[in-house]
Structure 1
Amino acid sequence: MDVLIHILVALHIIGIASLLGGFLTQMKAMGQGTARFVPAMLHGALTMLVTGVALVGLHQAEGHTVNNIKIGVKLALLIVILGLVYVKRDDETVDKRLFGLVGLLTVANIFIAVLWT
């Protein structure tokens, strides 16, 4: 079971890297007002959702305690990110503020994961 959990954690990190990497590659375009949500951002957010839910389920199945408030906050942020990216994925350009919000929520999700103990 530990191997499966480690694989899911690695996939979860790949998902966040894809989401954040997609955002960072569009930073210059955001400054010019031509940023768009790239497919890597959508795929990264979906990967995070699936692996995150699986990780919580596996931890609870093993009898470990899970901080449900932390998981709920992270899930809420991820659902907002996923919703914004999914709805605006086909738009040629996305408003700077909306694009920046996705980046801010992504970074907030990372800091919550690392710092909230």
Structure 2
Amino acid sequence: MDVLINVFVGLHIIGIASLLGGFLTQMKAMGAGTARFTPAMLHGALTMLITGVALVGLNQADGQSVNNLKIGIKLAVLVVILGLVYVKRDEEKAEKALFGAVGGLTVANIFIAVLWT
């Protein structure tokens, strides 16, 4: 079971890398007002959602304790990110505030995962 959990952790990290990488590559464009939400950002957020749910289930099935408050907050933040990226994915330009919010929420989600023990 540990190998399977570690595989899903790796996939979860790939998802967050895709979401954050998509944001970081658009930082210069955000300054110019031409940033847009890329497909990589949407796919990264979806990957995080699917692997995160799988990780919670696998950890509970393995008898490990899961901090439901932490998971609930991370899920809520991810749903907001996913909603913003999904709704604005086809637009030529994303507003600076929305684009910055996605980046900020992504970083916040990373810090919640790492620092909340």
Q: Same fold (TM over 0.5)?
A: yes
Indicate the SS of the match to 1:93. coil
Match of 2:11 in 1: 11
Match of 2:94 in 1: 94
CA-CA distance at 1:26 after TM superposition: 0.3
> Structure 2: how far apart are the matches of 1:58 and 1:29?
40
Match of 1:73 in 2: 73
CA-CA distance at 1:51 after TM superposition: 0.2
CA-CA distance at 1:62 after TM superposition: 1.1
Extract structure 1 runs of 4+ deviating beyond 3 A: none
1:111 matched to 2:111: yes
Point out where structure 2 has 5 or more consecutive residues left out of the alignment.
none
> Structure 1: how far apart are the matches of 2:63 and 2:29?
46
Point out where structure 1 has 5 or more consecutive residues left out of the alignment.
none
Match of 1:30 in 2: 30
1:12-60: per-residue Cα shift (whole Å, max 9, x none)?
Answer: 0000000000000000000000000000000000000000000000001
Number of matched pairs: 117
> Structure 1: how far apart are the matches of 2:48 and 2:109?
11
> Structure 2: how far apart are the matches of 1:69 and 1:29?
36
CA-CA distance at 1:63 after TM superposition: 1.2
> Structure 2: how far apart are the matches of 1:18 and 1:37?
12
Indicate the SS of the match to 1:90. coil
Letter in 1 for 2:34: T
Percent sequence identity over aligned pairs: 81
Letter in 2 for 1:91: E
> Structure 1: how far apart are the matches of 2:45 and 2:55?
15
